[in-house]
Structure 1
């Protein structure tokens, strides 16, 4: 397979459009939303009008007819400026809409995807639970089929769910145990739960270290009833479904992490040229130059990694290992670049008015969400046959 990741004219045009939007629309406003811990509805609506939420989906469902590379390019450019906006897009597409596109019936696609692709509605993916974390196979949320009413009855709790409690959230796809295999292992299925369903409770937003302009909440389900037709894909195949979704999502998170790492370079280069100490710009000091050279090297390498994984996905080739490699590397170098950018900025890097302070706070979760660094290493080792 060719490793030529030069962009087509269409992909480059998209990248430039999102880059302009990020700098002209997101950058001037997002700091205030971040400090108020407020969801940026106006910005999200504009992203919807641009078609960003429909990038990788066919036009027949209201999408833009693009691909996963297009989504990654948009995420990287947004995250160069702000990760809260980027993760809202990533979760809305990769975790909210993609499960319905990949595994839904034609009726489910027609019902939900046009609204999700337009950005008029956000979807969420209810996987993580308070006592399970990385052990997604330990799901405790249950769903039993009430044959008398032909409804699923769901009980349980989910935590750390992005996009789950906004005013425009329309659904959460929930993983739940729907039975047991002969060997006692749980049969996990995925079920669509529309917002506002009786018994479905959305908690107040978490108080978070970062991603403060994104929506993250705990969800609880108490005898929540939804039609049997809300089953997503085959009964008992939910575990395999979300593993596929997470594999793809790691490419998206890697693109986002690469954007944050590159944003740290952007901000630090500008600062190093303007900030003077001892009669000259600090960028004239070799110590600063070497830091910036290493930061650029990391961001460039991370970009190659996520684009390689995306290319394999688009060509129908195995990509699990490459997605894990990209996610692991890009998330760890995002943390490193954020730390170095803060150091270059000195005391100003500790002030929230500077974007690098926000990037520092936002970076750590990238080593945790959608599979911790430890889980990525497990997956890579497994793909090596160990």
Structure 2
């Protein structure tokens, strides 16, 4: 088992964001029962058992083992049960993964999500005050401050541009200007995809904006980008009945209203260096999970626009903390720089004017090349947060 990571962040950053998280790859699970900050989590198809529901503040380790038959997820949520403050996705049956977090005193909610749908199997989790306090060296403080400031500016700018592009897109869609709306659709979504981990941290907004039809649950209303996507590319489903003008207005206005909410929340948010690093990992997981398979843009097949945006966001996040990593693990910094360049070279080869090749036009060999490059990048990227916090 990997030892818990020692957090090296200033208290001011901890106050700004309640939880700092890192995620490591498959482990042997089990945890260390002698350590009160190590919690074993056993997820089954109908249960979520924790070895303890409380821990002292500081660096906590959740060793999550999936003993069920379905792929599962594990979440640590804020006390409201909505805000995602730490997560591990895609834990296959009989596999284990480890979540390491630096958690201050407070109330939280844990959730296992068998099948990766629904609210999950939830329980309360309490972190009590302890003497373990994070700290940061004077040499690192300037790099930390610069990284967090730059990322905050970047995310806020992307959210602002998303709102402007969404306003134009919705206006064209409601007016029946389908050619213009189809052209704007992938361009506008790139702003969202670059900051997707931030959007996902607002657990109530992301499903309203970015839920795919295949992920709908019984009784759940489908709204957002992909609902409109299907209406703009109806030929992909011969049985589909296009929306009326009034229905278009309803879905368009809803998309715009939720985008305004997202922008307002982003403008008030701050970030820590490990959230930045962990966000880079999350964006590459998005590529591996849905962009490589072509599942994300099921009707428009504009997956490579999303792919590029996810890589953009991950690269910006990495480059923000790169000066810190270069001091602590120069070999990792060099490897990540080279592998980001390799992925970008493959994307550049698929450029088509101002956009990219439609995903369904890629050959199996080209898809495999993308998959190999993403996997090669994901491996060192999974070590980024640990390097930043070491």
Q: Same fold (TM over 0.5)?
A: no
Give the structure with the higher percent helix.
1
Bin of the TM-score, shorter chain as denominator length: under 0.3
